[in-house]
Amino acid sequence: MFGTIETPVSVIDELDRAAAEGYDFVTRIDAVKSYNDGWLEIVAPTGAELELADDLGDHALSSADARCLAIASQRDARLVTDDAHVGTRGAQIGVEV
């Protein structure tokens, strides 16, 4: 449907913390990373993307969400999210959500 999906390391870190806290749904992340020949690619944000993420940050936006927005913005990519606030912020900066 989407081809390869990119996500920053910070999202994986967030999922690892959730797994450590006992949230069962995130224990499948390793299976997701390798499913269908590894359609989920873990990426590192560039310096420019990190700067933009810092600029985008607000009290309702996690650093992982800000990095997702910055990466999508800088790489002219679509952002897939179920978070309404992230979607709103994306639309405000011209990210296709």
Q: How do residues 29-40 score in pLDDT, each as one tens digit?
A: 666 666 556 677
pLDDT digits (tens, 9 = 90+) for 10-68: 887 777 777 777 777 666 666 666 655 667 788 899 999 999 999 998 888 999 999 99
- Answer for the pair 70, 10: CB distance below 8 angstroms, yes or no: no
> What integer pLDDT is reported at residue 2 of this predicted model?
62
Kindly report the CA angle at 70 between 31 and 81, in degrees rounded to 5? Answer: 45
> What integer pLDDT is reported at residue 33 of this predicted model?
63
Q: Is 42 helix (H, G, I), strand (E, B) or coil?
A: strand
Q: Is 31 helix (H, G, I), strand (E, B) or coil?
A: helix
